[in-house]
Amino acid sequence: MKDKSWIRNQKYVFLGYPGTRKGYWLYDVQKPKVVKLNVTKFVLWLRVILKDLA
Protein backbone atom coordinates (compact mmCIF):
# COMPACT_ATOMS: atom_id res chain seq x y z
CA MET A 1 0.00 0.00 0.00
CA LYS A 2 1.31 3.42 -0.93
CA ASP A 3 2.15 5.81 1.90
CA LYS A 4 -0.21 8.81 1.76
CA SER A 5 2.27 11.24 3.33
CA TRP A 6 3.77 11.97 -0.11
CA ILE A 7 0.85 14.31 -0.93
CA ARG A 8 1.98 16.78 1.75
CA ASN A 9 5.26 17.44 -0.04
CA GLN A 10 3.77 17.95 -3.50
CA LYS A 11 2.91 21.32 -5.03
CA TYR A 12 -0.21 21.32 -7.21
CA VAL A 13 -2.40 23.87 -8.93
CA PHE A 14 -6.09 22.93 -9.05
CA LEU A 15 -7.37 22.81 -12.64
CA GLY A 16 -10.85 21.33 -12.27
CA TYR A 17 -12.90 18.16 -12.18
CA PRO A 18 -12.63 15.30 -14.71
CA GLY A 19 -16.36 15.38 -15.51
CA THR A 20 -17.46 11.76 -15.58
CA ARG A 21 -15.09 10.34 -12.96
CA LYS A 22 -14.19 10.99 -9.34
CA GLY A 23 -11.08 12.98 -8.64
CA TYR A 24 -9.43 16.28 -9.47
CA TRP A 25 -7.26 17.52 -12.35
CA LEU A 26 -4.13 19.09 -10.91
CA TYR A 27 -1.01 20.60 -12.42
CA ASP A 28 2.13 19.17 -10.80
CA VAL A 29 4.52 22.09 -10.35
CA GLN A 30 7.60 19.96 -9.61
CA LYS A 31 7.15 17.73 -12.69
CA PRO A 32 5.48 19.91 -15.33
CA LYS A 33 2.50 17.70 -16.12
CA VAL A 34 -1.21 17.36 -15.44
CA VAL A 35 -2.29 14.57 -13.10
CA LYS A 36 -5.62 13.23 -11.84
CA LEU A 37 -5.80 12.59 -8.11
CA ASN A 38 -8.51 11.29 -5.83
CA VAL A 39 -7.08 12.27 -2.46
CA THR A 40 -9.26 13.23 0.51
CA LYS A 41 -6.47 15.24 2.14
CA PHE A 42 -6.34 17.44 -0.95
CA VAL A 43 -10.04 18.22 -0.57
CA LEU A 44 -9.57 19.19 3.09
CA TRP A 45 -6.61 21.40 2.17
CA LEU A 46 -8.59 23.03 -0.63
CA ARG A 47 -11.48 23.80 1.74
CA VAL A 48 -9.10 25.53 4.15
CA ILE A 49 -7.62 27.64 1.33
CA LEU A 50 -11.05 28.62 -0.02
CA LYS A 51 -12.26 29.46 3.49
CA ASP A 52 -9.27 31.79 3.97
CA LEU A 53 -10.03 33.53 0.66
CA ALA A 54 -13.67 34.20 1.63
pLDDT tens column, 35-51: 887 765 566 666 655 66
Query: CA angle, corner 5, sides to 26 and 22, nearest 5?
Result: 40
Mean pLDDT, the chain, rounded, equals 71
Which of 17 and 48 is assigned the larger pLDDT? 17
Q: What is the pLDDT of residue 1?
A: 47
- Is this prediction's pTM over 0.75? no
